[in-house]
């Protein structure tokens, strides 16, 4: 379109009434979304190098899907696939709305308004949220380096969002006591965060969560919890461990060793969680990954959709 045509188009826009403008906006948003997805998918097509079913690297182009995506056929297992096969977005409908939905997630948009805005149903909005969080959640165990702050926090157990929630007796009503779910968290001073919802608050569970993120070069800072001391002793290498014991009122050692960065992160995460009015324990990891991403990409926020589509490539 040349500048004259563009000028004339924008002049025409001024003549539209409110309803017509809304219609145009809807159309433009859909076009931007499809266009963006098209770019990401073609980028993905260029980089695709293995079959998502058997990981074989020999495959041929095999027509296109009903939505116009390139289809491939694996020479080893004979299965057909496309760029979305194996990602959380495979077989999801309404592609033209994904991007707008993803943008809303950076604003922690609620499900009902998001569903209403995009004319999708509530269940779809719920499913998309958790599909888009699947890959960020899988990559939760990031390697940490240098000074590592580690701690646990506890949340009330919740069966929200689970179909069979009522088949299990509610602990709260039963004995008046609410079960607490332990969550292990750790971060380094470069801003990398690792997290894991634990099955139980035991040394074994804690050890399984913390050991993979430690290296002999790291310095571990924890509170006085004796489990950490026992875990460090069992490591196959010597690890510097700084225990900040609250009874001694010692919050910082040597001016740099403390767990305040982590405690601050946990405080902000819990404050952010409040707006959901209770998160189902089964989805807790997703809400950890969601906040972690929001917290680490403050300026340039990648599309959750791009991350999901590219997960096939980055997994290898
Ligand atoms: Zn194959």
Spacing, Cα 313 to ligand 1 middle (Å): 15
Please identify every residue whose CB atom is under 5 Å from ligand 1, which is an ion. 51, 53-54, 56, 74, 76-77
CATH number for the domain including 152? Answer: 3.30.420
The pLDDT, as a whole number, for residue 60 is 94
Answer yes or no: is 59 within a domain.
no
Spacing, Cα 257 to ligand 1 middle (Å): 50
pLDDT tens, position by position, for the chain (316 residues)? 888 888 998 899 999 999 999 889 888 877 777 788 888 888 888 888 899 899 999 999 999 888 778 899 999 999 999 988 988 888 888 888 888 898 898 888 899 999 999 999 999 999 999 999 988 888 776 679 999 999 999 998 888 877 654 545 554 445 567 889 999 999 999 989 999 999 999 999 999 999 999 999 999 999 989 999 999 999 999 999 999 887 667 788 888 999 999 999 999 999 999 998 888 899 999 999 999 988 888 777 778 888 888 887 755 4
- 18-47 and 304-314 helices cross at what angle (nearest 10)? 10
What is the DSSP code string of 77-129?
A: T--EE-TTTTSTTTT-S-HHHHHHHHHHHHTT--HHHHHHHHT--HHHHHHHH
What is the Cα–Cα distance from 27 to 3, expressed in whole angstroms?
A: 22
Answer yes or no: is 57 within a domain.
no
Q: What is the pLDDT of residues 135-145, one digit of tens each?
A: 888 877 667 99
Q: How many domains does the chain have?
A: 1
Q: What is the pLDDT of residues 226-268, one digit of tens each?
A: 999 999 999 999 999 999 887 667 788 888 999 999 999 999 9
Answer yes or no: is 44 within a domain.
no
Answer yes or no: is 201 within a domain.
yes
Number of neighbouring beta carbons within 10 Å of residue 166? 9
DSSP 3-state assignment of 150?
strand
Answer yes or no: is 206 within a domain.
yes
Answer yes or no: is 152 within a domain.
yes
What average pLDDT does the chain have? 87
Spacing, Cα 304 to ligand 1 middle (Å): 27
Neighbour-count burial of 67, counting CB atoms closer than 10 A to its CB (0-12 exposed, 13-18 middle, 19+ buried): exposed
The pLDDT, as a whole number, for residue 75 is 96
Answer yes or no: is 172 within a domain.
yes
The pLDDT, as a whole number, for residue 96 is 83
Q: What's the domain range around 192?
A: 147-279
């Amino acid at each position: 379109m040349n500048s004259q045509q563009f000028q004339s188009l924008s002049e025409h826009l001024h003549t539209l009434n409110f309803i017509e403008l809304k219609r145009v906006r809807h159309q433009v948003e859909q076009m931007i979304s499809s266009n963006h997805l098209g770019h990401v998918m073609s980028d993905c097509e260029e980089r695709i190098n293995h079959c998502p079913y058997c990981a074989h690297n020999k495959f041929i182009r095999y027509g296109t899907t009903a939505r116009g995506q390139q289809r491939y056929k694996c020479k080893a297992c004979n299965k057909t696939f496309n760029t979305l096969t194996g990602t959380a977005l495979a077989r999801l409908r309404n592609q033209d709305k994904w991007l707008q939905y993803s943008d809303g997630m950076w604003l922690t948009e609620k499900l009902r308004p998001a569903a209403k805005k995009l004319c999708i149903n509530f269940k779809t909005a719920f499913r998309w949220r958790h599909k888009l969080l699947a890959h960020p959640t899988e990559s939760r165990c990031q390697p940490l380096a240098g000074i590592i702050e580690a701690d646990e926090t506890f949340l009330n157990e919740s069966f929200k969002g689970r179909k069979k929630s009522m088949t299990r007796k509610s602990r709260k009503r039963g004995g008046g006591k609410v079960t607490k779910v332990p969550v292990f968290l750790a971060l380094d001073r470069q801003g990398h965060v690792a997290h894991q919802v634990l099955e139980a608050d035991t040394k074994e569970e804690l050890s399984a969560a913390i050991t993979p993120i430690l290296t002999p070069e790291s310095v571990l800072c924890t509170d006085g919890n004796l489990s950490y001391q026992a875990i460090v002793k069992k490591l196959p290498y010597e690890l510097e461990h700084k225990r900040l014991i609250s009874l001694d009122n010692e919050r910082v050692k040597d001016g740099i060793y403390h767990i305040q960065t982590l405690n601050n992160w946990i405080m902000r995460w819990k404050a952010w969680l409040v707006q959901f009015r209770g998160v189902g324990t089964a989805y807790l990891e997703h809400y950890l990954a969601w906040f972690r991403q929001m917290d680490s990409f403050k300026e340039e926020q990648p599309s959750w959709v791009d991350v999901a589509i590219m997960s096939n490539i980055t997994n290898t």
